[in-house]
Amino acid sequence: MKHATGDWILVLDADEVIAQQDHAKIKQAIKKASEKSDKSDKTGAKVQGFYLKTRNYLPREQGFDFTSSKGDHYAETKNYPGWKDLPVIRLFRNQHRYAGIIHESVEPSIFKLRELPEYKHTSVSDLIEHLDVPVHHYGFVLGDEHQQREKAEAYFRMGEKKIRETPSAKAYLEQGRRYLELQEYRQALHCFQTALVHDPQATYVFPDLIFCCGKLLMYEDADLYFEQAMTFRKNDLNALMAYGLVNIQRRTFDRAINCFSKLLQAAPKRTLAYYALAVSFYELGNLLESYKQLTKCVQLNPHFVDAHDLLAKLLIANKKYDKAYVVLRKVIELDDDRPDAYFNLALVCKRLGRQDQFEDYRARALQLGVNDKMKAALFKS
């Protein structure tokens, strides 16, 4: 970075790209920021940087903040089912430098300006603006599972070091999310709570806090964090998603439906929200509405195996065995280790009079392992 000679710096990693169509937006943002800084105002403040949303592409549906790529207009998206996005300062004035061990940030350098008299009354939004340009990141879809696991383990070790040497809200947030991936919810919760202590304005941590509290059956705490999230930022989409999932877990389905409905009004490509809505309606006995939501879900993400699985169960309940057979074949195509799918396939084939297929699927279900009740059903004459 010390070799950069321009007024502005744009940072990309080797596994990241910005679409050609967005280059003009970046140039225009720099031009406007430069023009704005030439004009005098009360604080003398000028824009120091821009948040760009990093689209972290994933090989499969993952997490409560996953967005489907279905219908997205970027060519960079087409080979992947979707992404998680994260705002990161990628474009900033050349006077600022990174700090940190991994996932370094220029935020400390920019915020340090607020110690100067001319920036004393400047808000963060005056210094850093949001630019509607995604950074397409392919780091999670490159390499095999072994390489991805090694990379995750290396990041975890560096994350611990970062917390020890340069503790910050962001450092604790990142490490908390690594604990989430490991399903270590108690440690993750501690990280997220510590992040909020470091920065009480770190509202982005509330969805993770809500989700962790749900996993730990701390429902009253989840309620409290959700209320705080809505106070700071009305209809925080990730908070709505996390709280909806918590309410499915505690079986307060009407409350869950309210969360997911609000979310989908603002973000109609959140496939997990459609699936969660379907589960909620299914549990309430509204099978028609559940079917509608599942149909939307699999249209957005044809690889969402749990959605196909529930759809098959609805079709079986309505005695639409031919359609159920097709959907169940899709389920085992996506995941060959689901004993319940083979169990249902066996019963469907029996209903359809396909004896050879029934015996094949029964054998596979027994090989994978089914409970005694299911086993009895498979041998019932």
What pLDDT, on the 0 to 100 scale, is given for residue 41? 47
Task: Answer yes or no: is 282 within a domain.
Answer: yes
Task: Answer yes or no: is 291 within a domain.
Answer: no
What pLDDT, on the 0 to 100 scale, is given for residue 95? 85
Residue span of the structural domain in which 258 resides: 202-286
Give yes or no: residues 275 and 324 share one domain: no
User: For residue 290, what are the β-bridge partners?
Assistant: none
Task: Answer yes or no: is 242 within a domain.
Answer: yes
**Least reliable range by pLDDT among 35-44, 103-112, 335-344:** 35-44
Give yes or no: residues 185 and 318 share one domain: no
Query: The dihedral of CA 98, 104, 109, 110: what is its sign?
Result: positive
What pLDDT, on the 0 to 100 scale, is given for residue 38? 56
Task: Answer yes or no: is 297 within a domain.
Answer: no
List the one residue out of 112, 64, 358, 117 whose CA is nearest residue 238. 64
Chain mean pLDDT for the chain: 88
Mean pLDDT of 344-362: 95
pLDDT digits (tens, 9 = 90+) for 198-215: 888 888 899 999 999 999
Give yes or no: residues 180 and 265 share one domain: no
Confidence category of residue 342, pLDDT binned at 50, 70, 90: very high
Distance CA 346, CA 352 (A): 10
Give yes or no: residues 114 and 6 share one domain: yes
Would the pLDDT of 50 be above 90? yes
Distance CA 242, CA 192 (A): 14
Give yes or no: residues 195 and 218 share one domain: no
Q: pTM for the complete prediction? A: 0.76
The SS3 call for residue 337 is coil
Confidence category of residue 2, pLDDT binned at 50, 70, 90: confident
Would the pLDDT of 71 be above 50? yes
What pLDDT, on the 0 to 100 scale, is given for residue 45? 56
Give yes or no: residues 5 and 120 share one domain: yes
What pLDDT, on the 0 to 100 scale, is given for residue 43? 41
List the one residue out of 278, 264, 343 whose CA is nearest residue 306. 278
H or E element: which one contains 289? helix 287-300
Give yes or no: residues 353 and 314 share one domain: yes
Domain count along the chain: 4
Mean pLDDT of 33-48: 64
CB 352 within 8 A of CB 322: yes
Task: Answer yes or no: is 11 within a domain.
Answer: yes
Would the pLDDT of 101 be above 70? no
User: For residue 209, with 0-12 CB atoms within 10 Å meaning exposed, 13-18 middle and 19 or more buried, which class applies?
Assistant: buried
CB 309 within 8 A of CB 341: yes
**Which ranges of 5-144 does DSSP label H, i.e. alpha helix?**
23-38, 107-111, 124-127
Give yes or no: residues 134 and 221 share one domain: no
Of the chain, the percentage scoring pLDDT greater than 90 comes to 59
Token reading at 266: 């603002």
List the one residue out of 65, 56, 67 whose CA is nearest residue 155. 56
Residues constituting the chain: 381
What pLDDT, on the 0 to 100 scale, is given for residue 44? 44
Give yes or no: residues 23 and 104 share one domain: yes
Would the pLDDT of 42 be above 80? no
